[in-house]
Amino acid sequence: MIRTSRRRALQYLLVVSLASHLGCKRSGATSSESSGPALPEVTAESQGLLFTWIDDVGEFHVEQRVADVPEAARELVRVAGPNDPAGDAIFLVDLRKPGPDGRFPVRTGTRLELEAAALARRGTGPALTAAPASAQPRPSGDVPPSAGTTAAVIIYGASWCGPCHQAAAHFKRRGVRFVEKDIEEDADAAREMRAKLAKAGMRGGSIPVIDVRGKLLLGFSAAAVDAALAAAP
């Protein structure tokens, strides 16, 4: 009888010990999961990332390779990929000099920080107007969407891109149906844009990229857009 009681007591202590140990593991896993997305690894050969740099007049440009980012603009570059942080947070990379392991230093920043850097280079230029980011394409324009219809225009851009918003405003004034696709929030949109550029034998480097019924335009020019609309079938 005494041996049976001791055996039960030992079994109880073993169960309590295991439960406590498993509880610590679970707590640790939850803490790790809540720490946010890991910083991307950026090297000179990185693929599948988008690099947003600022030119000397405060305009944004997007590249797919580190080598395509100008040397003078490498100090502050946004890097976007499939594991971006949520909200206003973004990843910023210094592409001037890699570390001993070949990786460039990456840190977490904010959209406001990147926009402030652009405004500083613009001097007295107008502030960028940020539109709410959306991972889904959204029909726009003065013409209400209807079932079974296709947008005449697709704007591939980003929420912080001033010329992208200017292009959207121009199409609204013209009453042209269009769809906006954010290449940073929507990986499928970025792949779609790259595929179209490659098929047309064009190299991207700035946004917006505007598809006017199959004719691609790099950047926004009201005259170029109007000419493309006039020539579109």
Whether 62 maps to a domain, the answer reads yes
Residue 174 · residue 229 · CB < 8 Å: yes
pLDDT at 208 over 80: yes
- Rounded Cα distance, 225 and 228, in Å: 5
Q: Could you tell me if 143 and 118 lie in one domain?
A: no
**Which one has a higher pLDDT value, 36 or 65?**
65
Q: Is residue 4 pLDDT above 70, yes or no?
A: no
Residues 160 and 216 in one domain: yes
Domain boundary residue, one of 97, 122, 147: 122
* Same domain? 203 vs 162: yes
165 assigned to some structural domain? yes
pLDDT band at 23 (very low <50, low <70, confident <90, very high): very low
Judged by average pLDDT, the poorest of 29-33, 183-187, 188-192 is 29-33
pLDDT value of residue 102: 95
Is the pLDDT confidence value at 100 over 90?
A: yes
The answer on 159 and 201 residing in a single domain is: yes
Contacts of 214 (CB under 8 A, 6+ apart): none
Tokens coding 116: 């402030």
Annotate 190-227 with b (16+ C-beta within 10 A) or e (fewer): bebbbebbeeeeeebbbbbbbbbeeebbbbbbeeebee
The verdict on 118 and 143 lying in the same domain is no
Regarding whether 222 and 179 lie in a shared domain, the answer is: yes
Query: According to the model, what pLDDT value does residue 36 have?
Result: 64
Q: How many CB atoms lie within 10 A of CB 164?
A: 27
Range of the domain at 76: 50-122
Query: C-alpha angle 92/93/97, rounded to 5°?
Result: 165
Question: What is residue 18's predicted lDDT score, i.e. its pLDDT?
Answer: 36
State residue 105's pLDDT score: 95
Kindly state whether residues 113 and 156 are assigned to the same domain.
no
Count how many domains the chain has. 2
Q: Are residues 212 and 175 in the same domain?
A: yes
Classified as helix, coil or strand, 160 is coil
Is position 3 within any domain? no
227 domain-assigned? yes
CATH number at 177 reads 3.40.30.10
| pLDDT of 151 | 61
pLDDT at 6 over 60: no
The answer to whether residues 98 and 145 belong to one domain is: no
Q: Do residues 103 and 185 both lie within one domain?
A: no
Question: What pLDDT score does 134 carry?
Answer: 38
| Residue 39 backbone dihedrals phi, psi, to 5 degrees | -65, 140
- Strands in 95-199 per DSSP E: 106-110, 138-140, 153-157, 178-182
